[in-house]
Structure 1
Amino acid sequence: MEYGTGEGMNDLDAILERLERNEEIARKFFEVEVTILSVLNFKDLFERLLTEIREKFAIPYVWITLTEEGDLAPLIPVLFDSDVVRQRLSVVSRDTLLGLIGSSREPILVNEDLSPFYKLFPDHEKYLIRSLALAPITLNGDVVGTLNLGDASPDRYVPGMDTTLLKRLAIKVSVCLSNVVAHERVKLSSSRDEVTGLLNARAIEEILAREFQRAIRYENTLSVILMEIEDQVSHESKGNLPREVAGRVAKEMRSLVRVTDVLGTYKQGEFVVILPSTTKKKAMKLLERLSLHISENPIQVEDNSIELRLKGGIASTEDAGVIDARSLVRRASEMLARQRRGGK
Structure 2
Amino acid sequence: MDGAAPYSAKHPPRLSAMDELRLENNMLRSRLDDILEHAHRNQNIMERHQKFELQIIGASHFIELITSIFSSLAETSELDMVSLILLDPRQDLQQMLTDLRINLREFPHMLFVRSERELQTPCISSQKPVLGPYQRHLYEQFFRSFSQKPASVALIPLIRQGRLIGYLNLGSFSADRFLSSMATDFIQRLGSIIAICLENVINNERLTYIGLTDPLTNVSNRRYVEQRTLEEIGRARRQGYGIACMYLDIDFFKKVNDQYGHQGGDDVLCEVARRIKAELRLSDTLGRFGGEEFVVLLINANLQDAMMVAERIRRSIAEKAFPLSEGGSCNTSISIGLTTVSEKQNHGDEVIVAKEMISRADRALYDAKRSGRNMVRCE
TM-score by length of 1: 0.74
Q: Does 1:306 align with 2:330?
A: yes
Partner secondary structure for residue 216 of structure 2: coil
Report the equivalent of 2:320.
Answer: 297
Task: Give the Cα separation in 2 of the matches to 1:202 and 1:338.
Answer: 26
Q: Does 1:207 align with 2:211?
A: no
Of 189-198 and 133-142, the range deviating more from structure 2: 133-142
Runs of 5+ consecutive residues of structure 1 not aligned to the other structure = none
What letter corresponds to residue 322 of structure 1 in structure 2?
N
Aligned to 1:92, which of 94, 113, 118?
113
CA apart distance, 1:230: 3.0
Once the two structures are superposed, residues 246-272 of structure 1 have per-residue CA deviations (whole angstroms, 9 ceiling, x without a partner) of: 123334444554444443212574323
Report the equivalent of 2:89.
Answer: 69
Once the two structures are superposed, residues 256-308 of structure 1 have per-residue CA deviations (whole angstroms, 9 ceiling, x without a partner) of: 54444443212574323444556666555544444443334322223431113
CA apart distance, 1:317: 5.3
CA apart distance, 1:229: 3.1
Report the equivalent of 1:189.
Answer: 210
Q: Number of residue pairs matched?
A: 337
- In the alignment, is the contact (CA less than 8 A) between 2:337 and 2:376 conserved in 1? no
Task: Give the Cα separation in 2 of the matches to 1:190 and 1:79.
Answer: 11
Partner secondary structure for residue 165 of structure 2: strand
Partner secondary structure for residue 197 of structure 2: helix
What is the correspondence of 1:251-290 to structure 2 with a 5 Å cutoff? 251-254=274-277, 257-266=280-289, 269-276=292-299, 283-290=306-313
Q: Does 1:230 align with 2:229?
A: no
TM-score by length of 2: 0.68
Q: Does 1:135 align with 2:171?
A: no
CA apart distance, 1:334: 5.1
Cα–Cα, structure 1 residues 86 and 117, in superposed 2: closer, same or farther, change >3 Å? same
CA apart distance, 1:220: 5.7
What is the correspondence of 1:315-334 to structure 2 with a 5 Å cutoff? 315=339, 318=342, 320-323=344-347, 324=350, 326=354, 327-330=356-359, 332-333=361-362
What is the correspondence of 1:35-184 to structure 2 with a 5 Å cutoff? 35-57=55-77, 59=79, 61-69=81-89, 72-73=93-94, 75-77=96-98, 80-81=101-102, 85-97=106-118, 99-100=120-121, 102=124, 104-109=126-131, 111-113=134-136, 117-118=140-141, 121=144, 127-131=147-151, 132-150=153-171, 153=173, 155=175, 158-160=178-180, 161-184=182-205
What letter corresponds to residue 29 of structure 1 in structure 2?
H
Partner secondary structure for residue 264 of structure 1: strand
- In the alignment, is the contact (CA less than 8 A) between 1:232 and 1:307 conserved in 2? no
CA apart distance, 1:104: 0.9
Once the two structures are superposed, residues 78-121 of structure 1 have per-residue CA deviations (whole angstroms, 9 ceiling, x without a partner) of: 57535895455333322455544756133345623279635875
RMSD across aligned positions (CA): 4.2
Task: Give the Cα separation in 1 of the matches to 2:139 and 2:366.
Answer: 48
Report the equivalent of 1:31.
Answer: 51
Runs of 5+ consecutive residues of structure 2 not aligned to the other structure = 1-20
Cα–Cα, structure 1 residues 276 and 145, in superposed 2: closer, same or farther, change >3 Å? farther
What letter corresponds to residue 128 of structure 1 in structure 2?
Q
Of 257-266 and 276-285, the range deviating more from structure 2: 276-285
- In the alignment, is the contact (CA less than 8 A) between 1:66 and 1:144 conserved in 2? yes
Report the equivalent of 2:273.
Answer: 250
Cα–Cα, structure 1 residues 91 and 308, in superposed 2: closer, same or farther, change >3 Å? farther
Task: Give the Cα separation in 2 of the matches to 1:51 and 1:20.
Answer: 24
Of 303-312 and 221-230, the range deviating more from structure 2: 221-230
What letter corresponds to residue 250 of structure 2 in structure 1?
I
Cα–Cα, structure 1 residues 235 and 65, in superposed 2: closer, same or farther, change >3 Å? same
CA apart distance, 1:168: 1.9
Task: Give the Cα separation in 2 of the matches to 1:254 and 1:39.
Answer: 31
